[in-house]
Structure 1
Amino acid sequence: MKVSGTGAMADQRTSLLKILTTLGTLACASAVIVLSLTPGAGSTNTPSRYFIRADLLFTGTALVKGQVAVAVEDGKVVAAGRLRIPSGARVLRFQNATILPGLIDLHVHDSPQLLLRDGVTTTRNLGEPVARLRPPYAADGYPRIVAAGPIITVPGGYPTGRLPELAAPVASASEAVATVDMLAAKGAALIKIGLETGRDGSLPTLSSEEVRAIVSEAHRLNRLVTAHVLEGKGLAIALAGGVDEIAHMPCLGVTPAQIAELAKRRIPVVGTLHVERLSGRCPDGVANARAFIRQGGTLLYGTDLPNVPPRLDLTELSLMRQAGMTPTQVLIGSTKLAGQQLGIAKLGTLAVGAPADILVVKGDPTRVLSALAHPLLVIARGKAVN
């Protein structure tokens, strides 16, 4: 769609919706436009295949320039790159725009529709009541949700005081292992443990032996273990217990040696830098993230929503930049590397066979991340989001 002049972006969106409405049907209840495409006369395309064409394509790892496109069929990416589009094919064309994988928020406690409209096509819920726990799922109009269920902790430990419904307290290593088994059976895609000790170190936590037992059982069941950690004392237990990931950037009483050890072991950290700043409890979050990244650490996108507004968190992305990441590194940490934490093949990329979670934005987000604030099209599991 070629547009120019004042109001070009609004005109482009309006034109797109007209095309999508012509091609498919608008499901008002779910606010999703279902593409039901038919090939042109003489086309060899299958009926459900369509193409998205733009100037730039970010694959999840690198930027491709030129006449680039993504082909989608049956909810999957079937081709991406400098494609030759067959005559008669259904094509959505964008000028001065970038196609990229849908974004992934690795730390939420809610997944509102607004996230999907902003291009966040997958979320990971790191704390919810066991009654709501189920395997990874996706409802029309909402992001895909991957959940951990309640947080394994000890009696009186975080989060039993503030959020008891999100806690699964255990009193021994054997109880902890049984809880891992129960959560996995109910659909937990990963296991989260609570190791917050409090500013004064008075909160009880799991021991390193209990953490090792949890990690061992989770790995037997092909689950990762992420740890809620803010303080150096809890981080020491997480490191001794062999966790796979840290769910916040540790920010209180953390030593340079601990940050170096995190980076050396290649344990990724989900930043949540914005919510740490808002809380006023973590003055060293960005500084620790900067030291972590400087030593080769992997920082991933996560917001701790609903503790921040229920949208794509541009402030979080900006703080990742302030911590020393390039715009491309921030995008990789919000797409491909985030997808690797979820166990869904090729999620966060535009590789052949990847889920068709696709975002088209005005401009080039590998140069200016704020381009992500201007989505022209969001595709979730092959369906266009209104």
Structure 2
Amino acid sequence: MPHESEALASTEAHGPASYDLVISRAHVFDGSQALAGLYDIAINGSEIASVSTGPLQGSQRVDAAEGWVMPGLIDTHIHLYNVRAVSDLNAMRAFEENELPGQLQLFLNHGVTTIKSVGDPTDGILTTRSKIAEGTLPGPRLIATGSGITGRDGHPAATIFSGSPWARDRWTGEVDSVQQIRDLVHHLADRKVDAIKLLSEGACAHSGEPKYFWQNPAFPGSVELERLPLDLLRAGIETGHDRGLRVTVHTTQQAAAREAIEAGADGLEHGVTVEPLTDHSLIDLMLERGVTYTPTLWIDDAHPDARGNLKKVAEAGVHIALGSDTFNGRGLFGANTLEEAELMVAAGMTPTQVLAAGTSGASRQCVRPDLGTVAPGKRADLLVLDADPTADISSLRDLSMVILNGRPAVDKPARR
């Protein structure tokens, strides 16, 4: 049921003030809820200036024709660089020149205005982030952790990159001591990464416990692994927090999820996927610590328990962030994000819950309060849709316009 937000809605008369851009006659999903009635949304520069029930004047005007406006989608778990093709410096440069621009545009074409890379070569992804921020490379806003940190011979070093030492050294940071993980987190923080990602590799055993073999249908073979030792996990999280960075941890089992949260993790990447979530005290712990759960059903839906586990944590009120785990070689960048949203609804979340997970919930995960909300003072990353996404999540595909930093980035006028 739509609600009117007193903080946003205004029926007062507006004078002759003219804004840079006005989207008129729109229903609004503001990042948390659908607002009652129709609104004009005004933009000045890169920010939303007004959200009004009365008409506003702008130098440019977009008639939403009683369609819907919502914040741009945020995908909090992607891998941008091609892990199959990039095996040396020349291949990496060729990828950046020939493939990367198109991939970035695909995200925008599907309404994804912010992406969070959680495991790409540090030098490459930070250079790409700079180019996007400078405006020399068109694309969605990019948030990056740099390389993921894993134990010696852990995932993905000994799995995805086992046959490519060059890529392994750049995509992953392998550590086998507390000092090494502290030093690596400090190094990444000095490079100005936006967050830290650690890989516990959930379903793995500790030394002396039954063996665990990593398997993924997208890659051949299987690899025996162990979890990141607890003292290293704690040291990595503590050091990240000391540097003011949010730390999320790749897990797949309940035991690993609990271990990560008790060690201080801010979020779980994947969460619990390979077994049913039966430990209700673990859900209570997520709520108590304010942990964010990123389900990545696009990659993990093959596990029979992944959907049910997401439903349990969502119904309990755990913070959820949309993240697809998109990578090269499967599906289509951007389209995978929309599929993730549809899978989350299929798992039992409401469309409104999923929209929040992909906007305000994702902005919380990324520590970007300027994103993910339609409100004055927020970043003007907006989608104009032809149909109501709060009624049918597939309406995200009925995209008419994408506005990034206050300017139209994708325009499909024939749809309006």
- The TM-score with structure 1 as length reference comes to 0.82
Q: Distance in 2 between matches of 1:320 and 1:130?
A: 30
Q: 1:112-157 CA deviation, whole Å, 9 max, x = no partner?
A: 2111111100000000112224285534531110000111111111
Q: How does 1:156-235 map to 2 (within 5 A)?
A: 156-161=153-158, 162-163=160-161, 164=168, 165-198=170-203, 200-201=211-212, 202-235=224-257
Q: Give the one of 319, 334, 346 matched to 1:311.
A: 334
Instruction: Say which is worse superposed, 322-331 or 132-141, in terms of deviation.
Output: 132-141
Shift of 1:260: 4.5
Q: Which residue of 2 aligns with 1:147?
A: 144
Assess, with a 3 A threshold, how the Cα gap between structure 1 residues 255 and 382 changes in structure 2: closer, same or farther: closer
The residue matched to 2:311 in structure 1 has which SS? helix
Cα distance in 2 for residues equivalent to 1:359 and 1:190? 26
**Contact 2:149 2:199 survives alignment (8 Å):** yes
**Aligned partners of 1:263, 1:367: CA distance in 2, in Å?**
28
Q: Is 1:51–1:72's contact at 8 Å kept on the other side of the alignment?
A: yes
User: 8 Å contact 1:336–1:347 — kept in the other structure?
Assistant: yes
Number of the residue aligned with 2:116:
124
Partner of 1:222, secondary structure, is coil
- 2:18 maps to 45
Contact 2:24–2:55 (Cα < 8 Å) also in 1: no
CA apart distance, 1:223 = 0.7
Partner Cα distance (1:268, 1:67) in 2 = 32
SS across alignment from 1:64: coil
**2:263 is matched with which residue?**
241
Q: Mark the CA change 1:254 to 1:175 in structure 2 (over 3 Å): closer, same or farther.
A: farther
> C-alpha deviations, 1:57-100, integer Å up to 9, x for none?
111122123330111111111111324314x7532112131011
Counterpart Cα distance in 2 of 1:79 and 1:153: 45
Q: Distance in 2 between matches of 1:247 and 1:299?
A: 11
Does residue 82 of structure 1 match 2:105? Answer: no
SS at match of 2:146: coil
The equivalent residue for 1:14 is none
Distance 1:261 1:251 in 2: 18
Aligned counterparts of 1:343 and 1:244: Cα–Cα separation in 2: 11
Q: Distance in 2 between matches of 1:118 and 1:213?
A: 39
Say which is worse superposed, 376-385 or 208-217, in terms of deviation: 208-217
Is the contact made by 1:263 and 1:292 (CA closer than 8 Å) also made in structure 2? no
**Alpha-carbon distance in structure 2 between the residues aligned to 1:264 and 1:173:** 27
- State yes or no: 1:112 paired with 2:104: yes
Matched residue type, 1:334: G
Gaps of 5+ in 2: 1-14, 81-102, 162-167, 205-210, 213-223, 411-416
Structure 1 residue runs without a partner (length 5+): 1-41
Paired amino acid for 2:107: L
* Structure 2 match to 1:102: 72
> Which amino acid counterpart does residue 109 of structure 1 have in structure 2?
H
Counterpart AA for 1:77: I
How far does residue 333 in structure 1 lie from its aligned partner after superposition?
0.6
2:319 aligned with 1:298: yes
Superimposed CA distance per residue, residues 184-217 of structure 1 (whole angstroms, 9 cap, x where no aligned partner): 1112100000111556435123222222211111
RMSD: 2.1
